[in-house]
Structure 1
Amino acid sequence: MKSLTKYCFITLFFSFHCFVYGQFNTLIPIQPKKTENLPIVEKTDGTKDLKQKSDKKFWKAIFNTTSKVDLKKELDSLKTMIKETSEKNDKKLRMQKIRDSLILQLQSQVIINEQKRTTSITRNEYENETGEFKFSKIAMPVSRPISLTSPYGMRQHPIVGTARIHNGIDLKAHYENVCAVMDGMVIATGWDPNGGGNYIKVKHYNRFETSYLHLSEIYYRTGDPVKAGFIIAKSGNSGNSTGAHLHFAVRENGKYINPIRFLNDLIEADHWLVASYQN
């Protein structure tokens, strides 16, 4: 009985010893604690920075995103460019308008000068008070100031009433002296069956031919030489005419030309000749 009690006591003693000291010797694995919102420790070699920058560039290229600062700069640059372009265009437009205006003025002046040249006679500066020419190699068809009553070119015929080419000019001359405009030779006189009445024609330097029509008197015959200013006939109302006047026509190398332009050219050439003679 005593030995049984002894064995039980020993067993209880060892069991208590194992229970007490066994807790401190048991290995229990330590569970890692969960971390929330802890900062990421970046690598010191900078690889993460490069990756982030590369990602930014990639997404920027994909979505083409622009910051507000960059956008403002682009808008300012665009406004400046538009303003400069507008100013340049305005300046260019103003210059173009000025050029167009000058061109129009010049064209108008040329047209006016041409009209004056073909419808009026330039006064010869070397005429004296009586209308005679000093040292001149030319003369006007009539001694009075030139007064044009019908120009050269298309016109409505005063008698027939249809549009016809007027191959000369009609000058006011009421039974007045008619003069040769340059030195030459009479090549024809007589009666014009086409309505020109009495006429005389003078050849000048084998280039020009002047004709004087509707005459009342003729003072030279075919083959006679004449000088500039010689009185070769008297104006009148012969042929198809509505009143006394002088029809004056000019041919150059066989073709009719504007007599007003011809007379102005003569005056300009005479000025040059007189100036050369005086020098």
Structure 2
Amino acid sequence: MLGDLDSQGLLRGKTVMVTGASSGIGRAAARLFAAQGAAVVVMARREAHLRALAAEITEDGGRAGVAVGDVTRPEDVRRAVSMAVDAFGGLNAAFNNAGWGTVGTTLHETDDAVYEQIMDVNVRGVWNCLKYQIPAMMKQETGGSIVNTCSIAGAFATGALAPYVAAKHAVLGLTRAAAAEYGAHGIRVNALMVGTTRTELVEQAMKKIPDLESAAGARAVIQRMADPLEVARAAGWLCSDQSSFVTGGAVPVDGGCSAV
């Protein structure tokens, strides 16, 4: 139930676009943002998952629009932004959370197709979102707030695949560049530096590397993985007016991994 989440109304009256919303962090964020009063436009490739999520939100009194699409396709992103504007009157915030990675190979063993997919989803996906979200926000007197899901791999080599480390460094670079360019327009752009989180992708990775969970716990000061809702809460704060003087930030949600 939405009422079981953090329903403080931090996002009341706002419209928020969430990518990668079919599972994990994105799904948790969509439910949380709706509980906090936002109308959410959820985007991902898996239509059935999105429809089920939107039904949960509306049944619990929230507002949700479904934009089935792939963040690597500019037209899909444009359509999602247009849905937010047309259906809910604007785009106040966006959580660009869609990402992809895999495990198990060193740099020289990684297939070119894997490199391309990692870069396409993680970097081009954020690029496409920024390109369409920013103009929509520039048309509003209130500006907006954009949050990009990065990773502690965007700050240092974590043992993840080299292309993933490179991609997340690029996401942080795009975040800072956009923050610098559009601050005068009232648009804030921040990155979440996320530690290992119990998502669908991580669950799949743990099947290949059983020691992944213990390794993640050993790295963090808080000796465990994150729950998706814990990351969503940080994203919700950055999307809200409570973080009105925060932009260009690399905000750690990593259980203390970057502290030691």
What's the TM-score once normalised by structure 2's chain length? 0.23
Q: Which has the larger radius of gyration?
A: 1
Higher helix share: 2
Larger strand share, 1 or 2: 1
Higher-RCO chain (CA-CA 8 Å, sequence separation at least 6) = 2
